[in-house]
A = this chain, B = another copy of it.
Amino acid sequence: MLQGVLADRDAWSPVGECPIEKTMSAVGAKSSMLIMREAYYGTTRFDDFAKRVGITKAATSARLSELVNVGLLTKRRYQEPGQRARDEYVLTDVGVDFMPVVFAMFQWGREHLPNNRKLELTHLDCGADARVEVLCDNGHRVPLDELGMKLVRRSRAR
């Protein structure tokens, strides 16, 4: 299983070229993941992040700055009538693209770690339960033992 790509793996391991390693270095802090969870729930304000994630404001500040730098969130100035201007942190497209990471963790943890409360992902349009899977261009659900990797030559735009 997956043995066929062993030769290619040496092309980027262990010298820091691996996207997984870079992702973990950039946003791999536990509180970063939890801040992103809150962002998906609609949280945008500094103190709300701090309270709901359960970390100090110092940590919140540090993590939010990192997430803005990496591009998952963006800082936006807003002004409520009669109030002074404040900052809020809103999801970017890059941040939305990060959802599979957070929800795959959510799904695995819910399934395989001891917990009492249960939450399910749902497709809001049709109401059915949903989960993270690997899908190929021909529309097949890819069992994880049929998954391979290949090197391609150059960067491709989205």
Hey, which bits of chain A sit against chain B, CB under 8 A? Answer: 1-6, 8-26, 28, 30, 33-34, 37-38, 40-42, 51-54, 70-71, 94, 96-113, 115-126, 128-138, 140-142, 144-156, 158
Instruction: Provide the bound-state CA to CA distance between A158 and B158, in Å.
Output: 36
A35 to chain B, nearest CB (A): 11
Copies of this protein in the complex = 2
Instruction: Provide the bound-state CA to CA distance between A33 and B20, in Å.
Output: 8
A130 and B134 contact, CB distance less than 8 A: yes
Instruction: Provide the bound-state CA to CA distance between A148 and B127, in Å.
Output: 9
A-B CB proximity, top 6 nearest = A14-B54, A19-B109, A123-B136, A23-B109, A24-B30, A100-B104
B100 and A108 contact, CB distance less than 8 A: yes
Choose from B23, B120, B129 the contact partner of A105 (Cβ within 8 Å): B23
A37 and B18 contact, CB distance less than 8 A: yes
Instruction: Please name all residues of chain B whose beta carbon is closer than 8 Å to the beta carbon of A108 when the two chains form the complex.
Output: 19, 23, 97-98, 100-101
